[in-house]
A and B are shown apart, each in its own frame.
Chain A
Amino acid sequence: MAGKKTGLSHQPVFRAGVVVVIILTGFALLRMIFVPPTFGVYGYYRASNLDYWATRPVAYAQGTQCDTCHGERAGFVAAGGHAGLDCQSCHGPAASHPDNPGAWQPTINPDREFCARCHGQVEGRPDTVIKQIDLDQHNPGVSCVQCHDPHRPWTMLGTRLGGSKS
Chain B
Amino acid sequence: MKAIDRRTFISSGIKVLATGLLSSLVTVVLPPATGTAGGTASREWPKLWQQREWGFVVDARKCIGCGTCVWACKRENGVPMDREVYRTWVERYVIGPNDQLYIESPQGGASFDRIGGSVPEKSFFVPKLCNQCADPPCVQVCPVGATYRTGDGVVLVDRVRCVGCRYCIQACPYGARFLHPDLMVADKCTWCYHRISKGMLPACVQVCPVGARIFGNLKDKGNPVTPIMARNQVQVLKPDMGTEPRVFYLGLDKVVR
Q: What is the interface of chain A, defined by CB distance below 8 A to chain B?
A: 25, 28-29, 32, 36-60, 62-63, 84-86, 88-89, 92-93, 117-118, 121-126, 129-130
Q: Are A86 and B41 in contact (CB under 8 A)?
A: no
Q: Are B68 and A53 in contact (CB under 8 A)?
A: no
With the chains together, A59 CA to B28 CA distance in Å?
43
Q: Are B65 and A125 in contact (CB under 8 A)?
A: yes
Q: For the complex formed, measure the closest distance between the CB of B189 and the CB atoms of chain A, giving whole angstroms.
A: 12
Q: What residues of B have a CB within 8 angstroms of the CB of A63 in the complex?
A: 201, 206
Q: For the complex formed, measure the closest distance between the CB of A37 and the CB atoms of chain B, giving whole angstroms.
A: 7
Q: What residues of B have a CB within 8 angstroms of the CB of A118 in the complex?
A: 64, 66, 68, 209
Contact A48 to B41, CB < 8 A, known contacts A32-B28, A38-B35: yes
Contact with A along B10-54 (1 / 0, CB 8 A): 000000000001001101100000011101111101100000000
A118: nearest chain-B partner, CB-CB: B66
Q: Are A47 and B206 in contact (CB under 8 A)?
A: no
Q: What residues of B have a CB within 8 angstroms of the CB of A54 in the complex?
A: 43, 193-194, 197-198
Q: Are B194 and A129 in contact (CB under 8 A)?
A: no
The 3 closest A-B pairs by CB, nearest first: A45-B148, A56-B194, A124-B123
Q: Are A42 and B151 in contact (CB under 8 A)?
A: yes
With the chains together, A117 CA to B71 CA distance in Å?
12
Contact A55 to B194, CB < 8 A, known contacts A38-B35, A63-B206, A118-B209: yes
Question: Which of B36, B40, B113 lies at the interface centre, i.e. has the most chain A CB atoms within 10 A of its CB?
Answer: B40
A88: nearest chain-B partner, CB-CB: B207
Q: For the complex formed, measure the closest distance between the CB of A29 and the CB atoms of chain B, giving whole angstroms.
A: 6
Given contacts A45-B145, A92-B75, could you give 14 more A-B pairs where the C-beta distance is less than 8 Å?
A25-B21, A42-B46, A45-B147, A46-B158, A49-B156, A57-B194, A58-B194, A85-B209, A88-B207, A89-B208, A118-B64, A118-B66, A124-B112, A125-B64
B115: nearest chain-A partner, CB-CB: A123
Q: What residues of A have a CB within 8 angstroms of the CB of B201 in the complex?
A: 63
With the chains together, A85 CA to B209 CA distance in Å?
6
Q: What is the interface of chain B, defined by CB distance below 8 A to chain A?
A: 21, 24-25, 27-28, 35-37, 39-43, 45-46, 61-62, 64-68, 72, 75-77, 92-94, 111-115, 119-120, 123-125, 145-148, 150-151, 156, 158-161, 190, 193-195, 197-198, 200-201, 203, 206-211
Q: Are B210 and A59 in contact (CB under 8 A)?
A: no
Q: Which listed residue, B25, B75, B209, B210, touches A25 by the CB 8 Å rule?
A: B25
Q: What residues of A have a CB within 8 angstroms of the CB of B64 in the complex?
A: 118, 125-126, 129-130
Q: Are B76 and A59 in contact (CB under 8 A)?
A: yes
Q: For the complex formed, measure the closest distance between the CB of B115 and the CB atoms of chain A, giving whole angstroms.
A: 5
Q: Are A124 and B41 in contact (CB under 8 A)?
A: no
Q: List 29 A-B contacts (CB under 8 A).
A: A28-B25, A29-B28, A38-B35, A44-B148, A45-B147, A45-B158, A46-B161, A48-B40, A49-B148, A51-B42, A52-B158, A53-B193, A54-B194, A85-B209, A86-B207, A88-B72, A93-B72, A93-B203, A117-B68, A117-B111, A122-B113, A122-B114, A123-B114, A124-B93, A124-B124, A125-B64, A125-B125, A126-B124, A129-B61
Q: For the complex formed, measure the closest distance between the CB of A98 and the CB atoms of chain B, giving whole angstroms.
A: 14
Q: For the complex formed, measure the closest distance between the CB of B163 and the CB atoms of chain A, giving whole angstroms.
A: 13
With the chains together, A45 CA to B143 CA distance in Å?
11
Q: What residues of B have a CB within 8 angstroms of the CB of A88 in the complex?
A: 72, 206-207
Contact A86 to B206, CB < 8 A, known contacts A92-B75, A117-B68: yes
B24: nearest chain-A partner, CB-CB: A29
Q: What residues of A have a CB within 8 angstroms of the CB of B197 in the complex?
A: 53-54
Q: What residues of B have a CB within 8 angstroms of the CB of A60 in the complex?
A: 72, 75-76, 195, 203, 206-207
Q: What residues of B have a CB within 8 angstroms of the CB of A28 in the complex?
A: 25, 28
Q: Are B194 and A49 in contact (CB under 8 A)?
A: no
Q: Which listed residue, A47, A59, A84, touches B75 by the CB 8 Å rule?
A: A59
